[in-house]
Structures are given as structure tokens and as C-alpha cells.
Amino acid sequence: MGLNILQANCQGCYSVMCDIGVCMRENDIRVALLQEPYAREGRVVGVPDDMRVYMTTDDCGAAVLIDDRSMDAVQISVEGHNLEVCVNIDCELGSMCVVSVYCRYGDEIRPYLE
């Protein structure tokens, strides 16, 4: 048994978000790490409503989707950073921390890694 994880830059596109939801369900992908997801009024839209969504607070630069109710998940606050989202996941394989980071084009990479 394994854990399939998807990573994608959605480029703020609604149709991409719809496709990601379908892709996750058709391919048994339980976790997605997204950059630039399509968001409206402070929430990611386009994915099935029963998926859990953890996202950055400001401009929704990044998000983590979880499509498995048996996983326990808690978003971890990262002080001083608003372009990444960290989620601690407990599942049948153990405990892990997944991170989705949106790095703005042209920015220095070091601040994102600290």
C-alpha cells in the first residue's frame, strides 16, 4: 500500500481545478500539493465539496487538498510566511508533514527555504 501525491501549478485556472478533482478520484490520489489554485472569496473552488482544503491566508498562493476522510490532518502555522501551507497528516502509513509552497517568479529562493 502506498500514498499517491499530486503536485501541480494550477495557474489560477478554474478548469484546471475541476480536472484535478477528477484526476485525484480516478487515480486514487489522496493528497494534492497545489500552487496558484483558483480561489474566490477566500476559498479554493472547482474541486469536490467533500475534499478538505488547507490554504494560505492571503492571496491563496498554495493549497493542500486531502481526499481521504480516514486521514487525520492539521494545518501547521508557519510564522512570518504566507505563501506556503504545511499540513501534518496521520494515516495508515504513519505521520508526515506535507508542504506546498508558491515561489513568486523572479524572487530570490532563499527566503522560501528558511
Q: Tens digits of per-residue pLDDT, 46-94? A: 999 999 999 987 667 899 999 999 999 999 987 766 788 999 999 988 9
Residue boundaries of the structural domains of the chain: 4-113
67 Cβ contact list (under 8 Å, min separation 6): 24, 25, 29, 30, 31, 32, 48, 50, 51, 52
In sign, the C-alpha dihedral spanning 36, 21, 42, 80 is negative
pTM, rounded to two decimals? 0.89
Can you tell me the distance from the alpha carbon of 22 to that of 99, in angstroms, rounded to the nearest whole number?
Answer: 22
Cβ atoms within 10 Å of 110's Cβ, excluding its own? 7
* Mean pLDDT (whole number) for 21-32: 96
Domain at 4-113, CATH homologous superfamily: Endonuclease/exonuclease/phosphatase (3.60.10.10)
pLDDT class for 108, splitting at 50, 70, 90? confident
